[in-house]
Amino acid sequence: MQRRQSSKHSKHVHDSNQTDLSAWRKERSIDTEKTVQNQQSPSDDSEHNSLEKALRFFEKVQDRVSLKKSEVLQKHLSTVESIGLQRGLPPEAFDTLLTVALSGKLADTVNTRLLKSLVPASVIPETSVVSSVSWLCVSKCTGSIQLLFLRWLITMFDFIDRKEQLHALYGFFFSFLYDDKLCPYACHVLYLLTRKENVKPFRVRRLLDLQAKTGMQPHLQALLSLYKLFCPELVNITLPGKSKTYFKNSEAPWKAAINTVRRRNQANSPVSQALCLGTAQPQSRKRKWNTQLIVPVSSANAQNLVGNREKNCVDLYSTIESFPVEQLQTFTQLLENIHCLEFPSQMGSVLANPLLLHYMNCIKDESIYLRLYYWMGQTLQEECTWCVVENNQYEQEFKDFLEIIYKAECFLQEGFSSCEEFLCRSLPLWDGLCCRSQILRLVSWIPLSSFSEMKSQICDPLAQLFFTSSLYFKCSVLECLKELLQNWLNRHVVQLDSESDNQFHSLNTTLSGLVNGIAELIHFVGWISTVALRLENNCTFLLYFILDFYEIVCDMYLKYNLPLLIMPPAGVFYPALLSMDSVSLNHLCYIMYRYRANLVAAKENELNKKKTQQFKFSSQTYQEYNQYIIAMVGCLWTSSAFQKDDHPQGVRLDEELLKQTGVQEFKNSFNIVYHPAMMGYAILFLQQACPDDTTFNFSLIKGKKWNWYLEYLYAQGLKGLKLFVESSINRVSQASQNKAGNVEV
Amino acid sequence: RSHAPDRSHAPPARGHAPAGDVTARAGRAASFERAARGWRWRGPSTSCRRSTPPPCCHLATSLPLPAERDHLRPRIDLIVFIIDIKSKYSLKNVEASLAYVDASFFLGKVCFLVTGVGRVNNCSIEMNAIWKLRDVYCSPVLLCELEVERIQATTAQRLLRMLQICAGHVPGVSALTFGSLMRSSADD
């Protein structure tokens, strides 16, 4: 019924005079009537009809229809604009509209508006783009329209469904370089299209001539760098290193519309036309991000390529047809075609694809990295939600993007350099809340070499935020720094393994750099932890994260074969020792036990002289440890901490002061029975041991009961305490337990 | 446009402190103030029975403050100078107002808040000028973008934590210590 009505309407329009206002008004009222009457039909239908009418109008429009005078033209133009900017245009609309815009039939104002509203709802058919390029070559349209078209092409590049014919038009795009105004954008298009076979000597010569004429422009530099990476023998000049921005941002006029269409598509849950390779992931619906991150399905030429490959496998000397990555489905396919794999032009699709990440890991081709890092750096900079205020509404997408980068980094077990640059630039401006966990996770993958260089841009803003932000932020930062340390240590172990396999002994030079870098990080964490504990009043939650960090630090020698041992600062040790809860105390005991194990092992190695030791721990390290252990044993066992602790920030108190505390027998009263963290256990123990006694007489816990008490504590899960007591406390005899024995160091 | 809100905190007496008067000059400043007021005061976690009074915030567009109200004004614990990097006038105004601040405030009770980092392309002040201010007046610089509501709230919370320290509510950390912490780099 709908179709009959629409055909009636279209007939109505075409029969009557186009400038007849009455016909137009009637049609509009019928439209509204139709939408009111038939409430089942969605507004999509009426919009679709009006779009069809507009398209038919544009197909048949004659030259020189003035916008001001023709209301029909205005109406159809606004239809196209409204549909394009809100819902996106269907694929079949592009041919007509591009032809009209580029053929110069209408005025530039119309053409500009048309081009600016050409936002696709799903894909752009390649044929329309090819025909529009042909129009471009005929130069019927003005220079500014040509420019706008190139910008449109760059922005919508990922939406074009197939690109084989576009690749064939490489030469045409190259000819646009001759025009000064079009040159930057033409370079950008070529950058997206270039494959190895496009790099020819005459093109290199042409680019070098242009460069000689106009100087080293960033866009020329970009294209030359890409050529150089594909064929280094053809490009002999030296190019400066990675440049931060090669191309100006072309997508501004369409950016808002693309985002609107994407959101709309998300809401209506359309069928995603992209295929996720490998795992059965739920199909992501994000348009703009997605078309860069999922390899699009290529349908038509699959058969041809397969046929060619079979032919070429026989003849080894012929050029090997490259295997398009769209067909890559399984790991075995990757292994078979690893020598001729062609990367997709949207480098971002590599990140979410585990097979391509495997490939990236193995190849030595620098161009892949260059393209990926360039694209990643650009996207990170442009979409950063706190550096560019307008991006604030798209925070969820940015978060997801950062997650994907992080997962790719975890897969490859190393960081991307464009990420480091992004963090350097944006951390000083960061508010600490936007994408917090994602940003901190990215920080944990910064390699050690870059970290030492960028310390002032990363550590200082982090420290400033750390001191002024909430408890949870502090804990997140500590966790992130722990992950960072862990990653460095893992990498060190892996390098050690690989080097020992190759029998390549260059350990000396790199090891000291590594040790210094790690030492700096540990001192930084020690500093901020001390301050944080003061600011948060020794909060247990915070102490947990700090002690977690030091749990890694204490075992660096034995577990990671790194000759470095750094004790926690007094501002961390004493709050943990005197904390009110047993978890921190237990944790500290475990850490001190591990420190002891590491120190003992180091001493043994030194004495045995089995391996030539280039490093040995200084006596200062042992002294520090001894001081701490005296304080600790004094606090937990011998009640002598207040007398014997001579650490400058320790708990030494004069005897008069101790007398003033009013504690009756202070010589016996500061040990694991009376420790505030343990008192609860002591009470529970007494309840079980002497159920009839209601006065909690702690001095009962001595002799045999002391051993029972210890067993009780170990049974309550205080394993760290058990290890510490067994290793660090030498019990003189079983009988006299009040004055517990010496401390072995 | 630069605002210099004087964060004042009533002396920690028993009973509740009088709510400070707020002169809101512009919408942005008002919402900032609302964010500041809405933040619940989280006192130290030790057993502090006395309820800490809420912070009072006073806003001004330039210094010196009018002398007529000197006797009514409570003790000032923190002065925050807001500089908008999109406006050269803002920086000039702050530099002029700095002359009226007593030297004792620069021992950790002054802070510069630079807004507008979300529009780095439109900034007309060089960041070098800001760093010079930081070095000359020995006071920390916080960067933010007050156009975004969520960042407003976060920045307000950060300033309130600083205020907590400057008012002496965190035992063991003085305003001077904290100020030097905020300016020191990881190398120190």
pLDDT at position B186 is 56
Asked if A537's CB is within 8 angstroms of B186's CB, the reply is no
Q: State how far the alpha carbon of B146 is from the alpha carbons of B33, B86, B114, B120, B123, in Å.
A: 12, 12, 9, 13, 14
Q: Pairing state of beta strands B110-115 and B76-84?
A: parallel
Measure the CA–CA gap between A30 and A45, rounded to whole angstroms: 14
Mutate to test the interface with A, among B78, B143, B174, B176 (most CBs of A within 10 A): B143
H-run or E-run covering B143:
strand B141-144
Q: What is the DSSP letter of B76?
A: E
Mean confidence (pLDDT) of chain B: 72
Q: Which of A545-559, B21-35, B89-103 has the lowest mean pLDDT?
A: B21-35
Q: What is the pLDDT of residues A622-640, one digit of tens each?
A: 999 999 998 898 888 887 8
pLDDT (0 to 100) of residue A326: 63
Contact B170 A464 (CB under 8 A): no
H or E segment at A194? none
Q: Quote the CA–CA distance of A445 and A410 in Å, as a whole number.
A: 8
pTM: 0.69
CB contact under 8 A, B185 and A459: yes
- Which of B150, B161, B172 shows the shortest C-beta gap to A468? B161
> Is residue B53 within 8 Å of residue B12, measured between CB atoms?
yes
When the candidates are 1.10.260.40, 3.30.1370.30, 1.10.10.10, 3.40.50.300, the CATH number that belongs to B22-41+49-187 is 3.40.50.300
Residues from A contacting B (CB-CB < 8 Å) are 386-389, 392, 428-429, 431-434, 455-456, 459-460, 463-465, 467-470, 520, 524, 527, 531, 534-537, 539
Determine the average pLDDT of the residues in A102-111: 84
Nearest to A524 among B46, B165, B186 (CB): B186
Residue A313 or A106, more confident: A106
The CA distance from B68 to the nearest CA of chain A, in Å, is 35
Q: Give the pLDDT of residue A531.
A: 93
Residue whose entry in the numeric block shows the structure tokens 């005459």: A202
pLDDT one-digit tens code per residue, B6-60: 554 433 322 222 222 222 223 344 444 444 444 433 333 333 344 566 788 888 8
Helix (H, G, I), strand (E, B), or coil: what is residue A122? Answer: coil
User: Which residues in chain A are contacts of B171 at CB distance < 8 A?
Assistant: 537
Distance from CA of B120 to the nearest CA of A (A): 7
Which residues, in sequence order, are CB contacts of A318 under 8 Å at separation 6+?
A312
CB contact under 8 A, A431 and B155: yes
d(CA A279, CA A274): 14
Q: Please count the residue pairs, one from chain A and one from chain B, whose beta carbons lie less than 8 angstroms apart.
A: 82
Higher pLDDT, residue A44 or A306: A44
* Cβ atoms of A520 and A454 closer than 8 Å: no
The residue behind tokens 């009780």 is A712
What pLDDT shows up at residue B110? Answer: 92
Give pLDDT, residue A509. 53
Work out the average pLDDT over A43-59.
80
What's the CA gap between A633 and A630, in Å, rounded?
A: 5
d(CA A467, CA B182): 8
Kindly tell me if the per-residue pLDDT of A439 is higher than 60: yes
Give Cβ neighbours of residue A316 (< 8 Å, ≥ 6 apart).
none
Contact between A387 and B117 using a beta-carbon 8 Å cutoff? yes
Q: Which of B155, B162, B186 sits opposite A460 (nearest CB)?
A: B186
The 10s digit of each residue's pLDDT in A500-526 is 665 444 444 577 888 889 999 999 999
d(CA A466, CA B158): 10
Q: What is the mean pLDDT of residues A668-676?
A: 81
Domain ranges in chain B? 22-41+49-187
Find the CB nearest A389 among B119, B173, B178.
B119
pLDDT for the residue numbered A479:
96
C-alpha span between B152 and A428 (Å, rounded): 17
Is there a contact between A431 and B151 if contact means CB atoms under 8 Å apart? yes
The mean per-residue pLDDT over the stretch A641-652 comes to: 81
Parallel/antiparallel/unpaired status of strands B110-115 and B141-144: parallel
Plot region of A41 (φ>0 → left; ψ -120 to 50 → alpha; else → beta)? beta
Q: Which residues of B touch A536 (CB under 8 A)?
A: 45
Measured CA to CA, the distance from residue A592 to residue A632 in angstroms comes to 9
Does the pLDDT value for residue B2 go beyond 50?
Answer: no
Chain A closest-CA separation from residue B69 CA (Å): 32
Look at residue B111 in the predicted model and tell me its pLDDT.
92
Extract the tokens encoding A626: 């001894």
Q: What angle do CA A734, A739, A744 make, to 5 degrees?
A: 80
**Which has the higher per-residue pLDDT, A538 or A664?**
A538
Mutate to test the interface with B, among A436, A467, A468 (most CBs of B within 10 A): A468
- Cross-chain Cβ contact A470/B155 below 8 Å: no
